[in-house]
Amino acid sequence: MANEPDAASEAAELAETLYTVMPIVVEHVSRRLEAFGLTHTDYWALRSVEGAMPMKDLAQCMEIDPSYVTLLADRLEGLGLVARQPHPTDRRVKNLVLTAKGKRLKKSIPDKIWDGPNTFSSLTATERAKLKALLSKLLGENS
């Protein structure tokens, strides 16, 4: 078994492959989001808002500074994708809610990002499912 790579070498190789793939995926998504006037962070926030979500909860969900959520909310509100609403029991808290336009965009963007040739086109449906399951496992998610 001396010719087999050790676990650390395999882990390093896998990490290097992921580091190589990620910028390709990010560039693909960036180009597609430009058509909607969105950045990665805009889209991440749009995907993260569920129901009436306190802005501090969005910051925690996105693992970003709460002060940045204010700028992000301003931008998304300016695009007509979210609205700020008062919290029902705490006057100090503002909730973000998706507008009708925000809900439509949140639902339609994934199909628009991944239609046609993309970074995963070379994989079969079975291979994509396996890759998803493996990545979910790495993230500690049930797949």
Residue 143 burial by CB count (10 A; 0-12/13-18/19+): exposed, middle or buried?
exposed
Domain boundaries, the chain: 20-114
β strands within the chain, DSSP E: 53-54, 82-86, 94-98
**31 has pLDDT over 60:** yes
The rounded percent of the chain whose pLDDT value lies above 70 is: 95
Q: What pLDDT score does 48 carry?
A: 95
Return the CATH number of the domain spanning residue range 20-114: 1.10.10.10
Token pair in block for residue 90: 């705490």
Tell me the per-residue pLDDT of 61-105, one tens digit each, with 9 for 90 and over. Answer: 999 998 899 999 999 999 999 999 999 898 888 999 999 999 999
Task: Specify the DSSP class assigned to residue 54.
Answer: E
